[in-house]
Every structure is written in structure tokens, then in C-alpha cells.
């Protein structure tokens, strides 16, 4: 290959063609070369010390990476702020490389800097916008104009960024998981896992394995290692719904995790440490459960650091029309329907009903009505489920001011003639175990057709 010797003009043309600012210095930190970008920003500083010309200092900078390059010959790179002579501050990516002579001796260094101010600021703005979009999306899922629910929103925004445990109280169907997800979306863990578990929906003998994991051979059927949900949620958030359904042994194990951050998989002695925020929820009175001895007091205090109570739908009737319209629009989109609206009398029926199943029951009622209504027609009273509209044969005197348990009794009796236990529980927003307990408490035997 020919021995190439480049003129100063050629070097300038080459260095000025790049989009980076380029400076070269000797071993004494004196500037020996600047390309046009650097000259425009600082003027010609050849022969000056780099720390004096670029930083206005009389001594070398304590954080100077070029000195490290001159010492060991290893490249350095990173991002830093620089202040220009006009006072503007730029965010730059930089890369510093050693300059060597023909014998391999380090004689200086060259540094290239690239202005990434706009890129970083746009990235920051995008990150802020993304967080706001996630926050709004989560709150938009909780449709309300109720003062009580807006107070819940304000509380969520205040406590979301903390690491404290949260207990959400609310009747079945009030949207406890939506609130848990809104807390998660506004927390510092929003980019980490969100894992949910309904403690009342899993058989007791499987719940420990589901929550804490197990190792191969821990019990019959454990043919491989299984990662528990606590481990899956590491660095993120674990939502435990129906927390009151945990039995004493699991309460003790969960308490240990909350105290120590440690768990053991079923069948092993190894201690594993995880960092998980716990959000729990219940439709039960946990303080009463503590008094009755069915729920550990120490676990209650660990979980109940920040209590959030969700009002039932009957305490925020102003939300019924809003929610009904929201569900009508969303469910029509999901099912490809074009039901137009509600007749005034149908809306009146919805407003008068006490909604023992809360928002979930209202959603189910709207879905039912959509399937019975023709496209481009409004929902009429005739299309609303009988128990809500008080139709003959649905439930006698359903609109009389009965207690909540009275309405629950009516619902179970109405549903069991044509639905399975699982379907009845889903409609009520409870587990099959809770349904069994309600039957026992209300004295409702299972119908022959209820499976």
C-alpha cells in the first residue's frame, strides 16, 4: 500500500465532513486541533489548555477522562453536560481515544462530541407523555363523576409512588383490581411486572405452590420446578384479591415475606429474596376477621398500611348513566353491534336498582340487553334482565327497599334455575367458595338444576 501523507487542508476537509465536534490535545492537555464545529462554538483555541478554553478553569478538571486515556491508553465514552461561552448548556455524547506515534507511544488524545440535547429532551418528553398516557388510560377504565371516587383517585396519586402495602376494601364488583392497576400504573414500578392472584379462586392445597413456587418432587405431581407468583412479580407489584380467604399457614408464610422479603419454594430449604410491592383487596371486614381469629392481626397491620375504600355503586347513583353509556359503547364495539342508546324508562329502571353486584353486575346487564336489542334501536325495559326491571316471575317485589342480603338472595334464587354454580358466582363477582358461604348464611339450598 502506498505511504499516504495527508495535508492539513485534507485533514480539515475530512474532520469538517463529520457531524461531531472534534478536538485533539497533546500530553500537556494543550489543544493541537479543532474542527469547524468546535471552532464555531469556542473560537480558535490552538495552544491553549483544554480545561481553560472549554471550562474556564485554571486547573485540570477533576472528572477529566482524557487524562485517564493519556495514562492507560484505553478509550472512554459517555454522556455529559457542557456549557458553551454563550451560556447555553448542551447534552453531548463523547468518545475519547488515544493518539500514538509510530512507535506506539501515547502522544495525545482526540475527543469527538455529538450534541444529543434534542434527542434526550424528546426522549424525556416521550417518557413523561407515556407515563401520562398510561395513567390516563388506567383512570379512564374507572368511569366516574362521583365525588367519592374522585377522592379515591386523589389518594391513588398520592400513595402510588410509595413502597407501602395497600389494602383495597370494596364489595364484589366495585373495581378493586382496576384500582390496583391504576396504583401500579402511577408507581415507580410501572415498567416491572404486575401479577394478580385471586386467593379464593384456587384450591387451598394448590395456593401455596401458586404463590411461593415448588421444586420438582415436592409432592405428587410436581414433575418440574415451578416459579411462584411472588418470584414472577420480583421488582414489580403483586395484587392479592380476596386476601381474607388465605388460611393460617399461608398467612404466616406471607407475613414472613412481608417482614423479611424472603420466601422458600415448597419442598426446598433455600431462602430466596425478592422485592415485591403487595396490594391486597377484600370484600370482607378484616377487622372483624381478626377479632374472630380467622385472620392474623400482625398480617392485617402489615397489609393495611394504606387502606383504600371503594364506595358501592348504590352510593354513587350519578355514575349509573355514565357507566351504562360507557359499557354500551364498549360492548357494542366488542360484539359488532349498533345499539343506539337507552329509552328514558330503561335508564330510570337502571337508576332505581340498588346494584348489589355493583359495576360488574351493571356491565353484565348491559351486555345482556345488547343481545336482545336490534341494531339502531335503543335499549328498552323489556331488554333489561328481569330481576333488575322487576318483571313478573323474576323476583317478587324486587324494587322494594330490601337489604343488600335480600337482593343477593333474590339474585341467587333467580339465577340458579338456569345457571351453573360457576356462572352464578361469576355474575355475582365472587368465588364458588364465597357463593357456598352465602347460600349457607342465607339458607338457600342448591337447586337440582344448579350444578
pLDDT digits (tens, 9 = 90+) for 284-334: 999 999 999 999 999 999 999 999 999 999 999 899 988 999 899 989 998
pTM of this prediction exceeds 0.75:
no
Per-residue pLDDT reduced to its tens digit, 430-441: 777 778 878 877
- Number of structural domains found in the chain: 3
**What pLDDT shows up at residue 55?**
83
**What pLDDT shows up at residue 40?**
86
Does residue 299 share a domain with residue 167?
yes
The CATH number of the domain where 44 resides is what? 3.30.450.20
Per-residue pLDDT reduced to its tens digit, 199-226: 988 888 889 999 999 888 888 877 788 8
The CATH number of the domain where 345 resides is what? 1.10.8.60
Residue 450 included in any domain: no
Q: Which of 60-69, 101-110, 114-123 has the highest mean pLDDT?
A: 101-110
**What pLDDT shows up at residue 407?**
58
Query: Is 27:69 a contact under the CB 8 Å cutoff?
Result: no
Does residue 143 share a domain with residue 105?
no
Domain boundary among 288, 309, 330: 309
Residue 419 included in any domain: yes
**What pLDDT shows up at residue 235?**
94
Could you tell me the residue range of the domain that residue 54 belongs to?
A: 8-115
**Rounded average pLDDT over 28-34:** 91
The percentage of the chain sitting over the pLDDT mark of 90, rounded to a whole number, equals 39
Cα gap 397→266, rounded to integer Å = 52
Does residue 128 share a domain with residue 110?
no
**Rounded average pLDDT over 25-31:** 92
**Rounded average pLDDT over 100-113:** 89
**What pLDDT shows up at residue 261?**
92
Domain boundary among 309, 327, 345: 309
373 has pLDDT over 50: yes
Of all helices (H) and strands (E), which one includes residue 347?
A: helix 344-352
The CATH number of the domain where 260 resides is what? 3.40.50.300
**What pLDDT shows up at residue 423?**
76
Lowest mean pLDDT among 54-58, 368-372, 418-422: 418-422
Residue 291 included in any domain: yes
Does residue 261 share a domain with residue 391?
no
Top pLDDT among 116 and 13 is at 116
**What pLDDT shows up at residue 129?**
60
**What pLDDT shows up at residue 388?**
83
Per-residue pLDDT reduced to its tens digit, 343-356: 989 999 999 999 99
**Rounded average pLDDT over 417-422:** 75
* Mean pLDDT value across the chain: 84
Does residue 305 share a domain with residue 271?
yes
95 has pLDDT over 60: yes
Does residue 129 share a domain with residue 106?
no
**pLDDT bracket for residue 1 (50, 70, 90):** very low
Domain boundary among 115, 139, 174: 115
Per-residue pLDDT reduced to its tens digit, 382-391: 889 877 876 5
**What pLDDT shows up at residue 246?**
93
**pLDDT bracket for residue 180 (50, 70, 90):** very high
Amino acid at each position: 500500500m502506498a505511504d499516504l501523507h495527508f495535508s492539513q487542508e485534507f485533514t480539515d476537509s475530512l474532520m469538517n465532513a463529520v457531524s461531531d465536534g472534534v478536538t485533539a490535545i497533546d500530553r500537556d492537555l494543550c489543544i493541537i486541533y479543532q474542527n469547524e464545529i468546535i471552532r464555531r462554538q469556542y473560537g480558535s483555541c490552538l495552544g491553549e489548555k483544554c480545561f481553560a478554553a472549554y471550562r474556564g478553569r485554571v486547573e485540570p478538571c477533576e472528572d477529566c477522562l482524557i487524562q485517564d486515556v493519556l495514562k492507560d491508553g484505553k478509550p472512554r465514552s459517555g454522556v455529559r453536560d457542557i456549557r458553551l461561552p454563550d451560556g447555553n448548556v448542551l447534552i453531548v455524547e463523547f468518545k475519547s481515544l488515544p493518539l500514538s506515534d509510530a512507535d506506539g507511544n501515547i502522544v495525545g488524545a482526540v475527543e469527538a462530541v455529538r450534541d444529543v440535547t434534542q434527542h434526550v429532551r424528546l426522549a424525556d418528553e416521550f417518557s413523561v407523555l407515556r407515563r401520562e398516557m398510561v395513567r390516563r388510560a388506567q383512570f379512564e377504565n374507572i368511569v366516574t363523576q362521583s365525588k367519592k371516587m374522585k377522592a379515591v383517585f386523589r389518594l391513588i396519586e398520592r400513595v402510588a409512588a410509595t413502597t407501602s402495602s395497600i389494602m383495597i376494601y370494596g364489595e364484589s364488583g366495585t373495581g378493586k383490581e382496576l384500582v390496583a392497576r391504576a396504583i401500579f400504573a402511577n408507581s415507580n414500578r410501572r415498567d416491572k411486572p404486575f401479577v394478580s392472584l385471586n386467593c379464593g379462586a384456587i384450591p387451598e392445597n394448590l395456593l401455596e405452590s401458586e404463590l411461593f413456587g415448588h421444586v420438582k418432587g415436592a409432592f405428587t405431581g410436581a414433575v418440574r420446578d415451578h416459579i411462584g407468583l411472588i418470584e414472577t412479580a420480583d421488582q414489580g407489584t403483586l395484587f392479592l384479591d380476596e386476601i381474607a380467604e388465605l388460611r393460617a399457614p399461608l398467612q404466616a408464610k406471607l407475613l414472613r415475606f412481608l417482614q423479611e422479603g424472603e420466601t422458600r419454594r415448597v419442598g426446598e430449604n433455600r431462602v430466596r429474596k425478592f422485592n415485591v410491592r403487595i396490594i391486597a383487596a377484600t370484600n370482607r371486614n378484616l377487622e372483624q376477621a381478626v377479632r374472630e381469629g380467622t385472620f392474623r392481626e400482625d398480617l392485617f397491620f402489615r397489609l393495611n398500611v394504606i387502606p383504600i375504600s371503594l364506595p358501592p355503586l348504590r352510593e354513587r347513583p350519578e355514575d349509573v348513566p355514565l357507566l351504562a353509556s360507557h359499557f354500551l359503547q364498549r360492548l357494542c364495539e366488542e360484539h359488532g353491534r349498533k345499539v343506539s342508546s337507552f329509552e328514558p324508562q330503561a335508564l330510570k329502571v337502571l337508576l332505581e336498582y340498588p346494584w348489589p353486584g355493583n359495576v360488574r353486575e351493571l356491565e353484565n346487564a348491559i351486555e345482556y340487553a345488547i343481545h336482545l336489542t336490534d341494531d339502531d334501536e335503543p335499549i328498552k325495559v323489556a331488554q333489561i334482565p328481569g330481576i333488575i326491571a322487576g318483571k313478573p316471575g323474576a323476583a317478587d317485589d324486587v324494587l322494594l327497599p330490601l337489604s343488600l342480603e335480600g337482593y343477593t338472595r333474590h339474585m341467587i334464587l333467580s339465577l340458579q334455575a338456569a345457571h351453573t354454580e360457576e356462572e352464578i358466582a361469576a355474575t355475582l363477582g365472587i368465588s364458588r367458595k364465597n357463593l357456598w358461604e352465602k347460600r349457607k348464611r342465607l339458607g338457600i339450598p342448591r337447586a337440582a338444576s344448579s350444578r
